[in-house]
Structure 1
Amino acid sequence: MRSQLTDYGFDFNKIPLYCDNRSGIALYCNNVQHSRSNHIGIRHHFIREQVEKGVVELYFVTTDYHLADIFTKALPRERFEFLLSRLGMK
């Protein structure tokens, strides 16, 4: 991921990953096994490993400003246009 971002002209010490789930961020950053986190998928373990290695840094963002929603959800027109403008698109 880092090499692809570098190819596009982005240079990061750590790749920022924005998440709107505080519990998810806590699970990724805290390497403690909880009874409720027994069934976490392999992709989540990959993210946890990348956080531990210092490749990825997780940031909390409120749902209102979660730009990935435009790519993953059916949105009302107003919400779509708001997120589109936040991405710098018309």
Structure 2
Amino acid sequence: MKREFEMSMVGEFNYFLGLQVKQRNDGIFISQEKYAKNLVKRFGLDSKKHTSTPMSSSRKLSLDAACVDIDPTLYQSMIGSLIYLTANGLDIAFSVRVCACFHSAPKESHLIAVKRIIRYINGTSNYGIWYSKDSNDCLAGYSDADWAGCIDDRKSTSGGCFYLGNNLVL
């Protein structure tokens, strides 16, 4: 590559576009801890109690026409910040996607759900993805769907992931 492009070695790669990279002999750990902590602080939820899950499993979000309207600018800012965090925070990807559906006309119930995700992040900001050097070359894929889980339009939400050996492929 050095023949084709002008390059210089300035040290070990450890931070890029909000991703923190920790290189070890047995693998690489990628996280967004610094970005996550800044996000929690920016929205004033750093002193709030953590939650153990990003979203309630018993309560579904809907258009909720009877609920109070909120400032869409704040809501969209929160959603945008969370979407960036899903690059590495796969544990919040589904919850953020559900909340993002309501970005054009957010209600108070939607804001409460987004704040819960941020409180969850406050307790899990050190989570990340570990890529082990010692892995096999077996490719496995997994998928799931909630089968008409949206109470407004009865659409399904699906998702999936692939592993190469023990390593998640993004």
TM-score (norm 1): 0.29
- Higher helix residue share: 1
- Higher strand residue share: 2
TM-score (norm 2): 0.18
Higher RCO (C-alpha under 8 Å, 6+ residues apart): 1
